[in-house]
Amino acid sequence: MTRSISILGATGSVGTSTLDLIRRAPDDWRIVALTANCNVAELAALAKEFRAEIAVVADESCLDDLRAALDGSGIEAAGGKRALCEAAARPVDITVAAIVGCAGLGPVMAAIEQGGTIALANKEALVSAGEVMTAAVAKHGATLLPVDSEHNAIFQCLEGGRIEDVRWITLTASGGPLRAVEDLSAVTPEQAVAHPNWDMGAKISVDSATMFNKGLELIEAHHLFPVGLDKIRIVVHPQSVIHSMVEYRDGSTLAQLGPSDMRVPIASCLAWPQRMDTPCEPLDLPTIGELSFFQPDEQRFPATRLAREAAEAGGAAPAVLNAANEVAVAAFLDRKIPFSRIPLLVERVLSEGNLPDAPRSLDEVLMVDDASRKRATEMLELA
């Protein structure tokens, strides 16, 4: 049976991994919308290859180029934030939400309002919108499937028991490329994005290096799996073989293992509640040899502490943390600030003491996001 799908952020790491799976069984899928920010050449090539109904660039200044690239193909071209949300609202069986950053929030909410199934990679959207997003999911009868490998692992482990019986959820963290690097102030963007286990986009790679990725994932897990924040802990596991674990009250711990290949959790979402073939390397445990585990070092990598504090504070705090982190990561990638300033900037923005009220709607979340970006940018310029 053919299923319809839209991929938001089709040109990125998660987007292209999703399309790689679809490419292996093209007759099973009808592609509705593919979107990008401004990567016209790749978006147009993908839209033509997969015969998408519509291709959208979020950056409206790229629309003329997209139109030219799609001329004669019969594929609709659109541009701008509103067009992105309209494309995301086209009814489909499954939407893969793989835009990076809070920029993906509007389109994700538009997809949720259609009541369909959303495979969510875009963790910043859930971190920022929190209760606003989970309430919309409940209101519109949508289904949220986690693509993030850790949350996908937990989702799978929770099929083995009842959520009321969970004692602990353990998020595993690789520790990133800088776990053993002494002088964090001298780290370059090239070093920070060179993840030892995963091949990902630049922003999440830097987040992995600072451990903000795990902090965002803690907040993400808090919204996806309502067991209470105090029951979600983080363990550093450098091999990234165990993607996360759930311990039940009888002492049984269920873990999900797999290769460090995002096509595994993406496939789990695409086929859910069934399974599908993937081309991923099978797990070869004798070759891996040993699995190791450590407590996170929050002195050197304070991001998980900051995220936990923001999650405990609730309200607008996670959106403020996320926005400040996005500004700090972009500034680091632009070589405007040293790596070690990323958590300092986030902490300063969070600790100003005049946090906005808890957002109650998408517009209010976007206002908090915008104001926090402006504040973080001002602070960057002050120093």
Query: Would you list the DSSP string of 221-280?
Result: HHHHS-S-GGGEEEEE-TT--EEEEEEETTS-EEEEE--S-THHHHHHHHHTTS-----P
**How long a stretch of residues is the chain?**
383
User: CB-wise, 152 or 170, nearer to ligand NDP?
Assistant: 152
The alpha-helical segments, DSSP class H, found in 141-231 are 149-157, 189-193, 202-210, 212-224
Q: Note whether 7 binds ligand NDP by CB under 6 A.
A: no
Q: Note whether 280 binds ligand NDP by CB under 6 A.
A: no
Residue 193: CB atoms within 10 A of its CB come to 18
Smallest distance, ligand NDP to C-beta of residue 262, A: 4
Smallest distance, ligand NDP to C-beta of residue 261, A: 9
> What is the DSSP secondary structure assignment for residue 338, as one 8-state letter?
-
The C-alpha atoms of residue 156 and residue 262 are separated, in whole angstroms, by: 15
Smallest distance, ligand NDP to C-beta of residue 116, A: 19
Q: Note whether 15 binds ligand NDP by CB under 6 A.
A: yes
Smallest distance, ligand NDP to C-beta of residue 381, A: 22
Smallest distance, ligand NDP to C-beta of residue 15, A: 5
Smallest distance, ligand NDP to C-beta of residue 383, A: 26
Instruction: Find the binding residues for ligand NDP in span 337-356 (CB under 6 A).
Output: none
Q: Note whether 189 binds ligand NDP by CB under 6 A.
A: no
The C-alpha atoms of residue 82 and residue 79 are separated, in whole angstroms, by: 8
Q: Note whether 197 binds ligand NDP by CB under 6 A.
A: no
Q: Note whether 80 binds ligand NDP by CB under 6 A.
A: no
Q: Note whether 122 binds ligand NDP by CB under 6 A.
A: yes
Smallest distance, ligand NDP to C-beta of residue 352, A: 26
Instruction: Find the binding residues for ligand NDP in span 136-155 (CB under 6 A).
Output: 148
Smallest distance, ligand NDP to C-beta of residue 185, A: 25
The C-alpha atoms of residue 139 and residue 361 are separated, in whole angstroms, by: 13
> Three-class SS of residue 187?
coil
User: CB-wise, 223 or 355, nearer to ligand NDP?
Assistant: 223
- Residue 51 gets the label, from left (phi > 0), alpha (psi -120 to 50) or beta, of left
Helical pair 40-49 and 13-23, crossing angle rounded to 10 deg: 20
Q: Note whether 14 binds ligand NDP by CB under 6 A.
A: yes
**Distance, CA of 87 to chain centre:** 20
The CA–CA distances, whole Å, from 193 to 47, 102, 122, 265 equal 28, 20, 18, 22
39, two tokens: 């990567």
- Size, binding site for ligand NDP by CB under 6 A: 27
Which of residues 5, 55, 79, 123 is near ligand NDP by CB under 6 A?
123
Smallest distance, ligand NDP to C-beta of residue 7, A: 9
198, two tokens: 């995963």
Report strand pairing: 54-57 vs 117-120. unpaired
State the binding string over 18-57 for ligand NDP (x if CB under 6 A, else -): ------------------xxxx------------------
Which of residues 32, 52, 58, 137 is near ligand NDP by CB under 6 A?
58
**Applying CB under 6 A, which part among 65-73, 94-102, 131-139, 341-349 lies near ligand NDP?**
94-102
User: CB-wise, 146 or 247, nearer to ligand NDP?
Assistant: 146
Of the candidates 94, 73, 98, 121, the one whose C-alpha atom is nearest the C-alpha of residue 6 is 94
**Which residues sit at the interface with ligand NDP, rule CB under 6 A?**
9-15, 36-39, 58, 98-100, 103, 121-124, 148, 198, 200-201, 203-204, 262
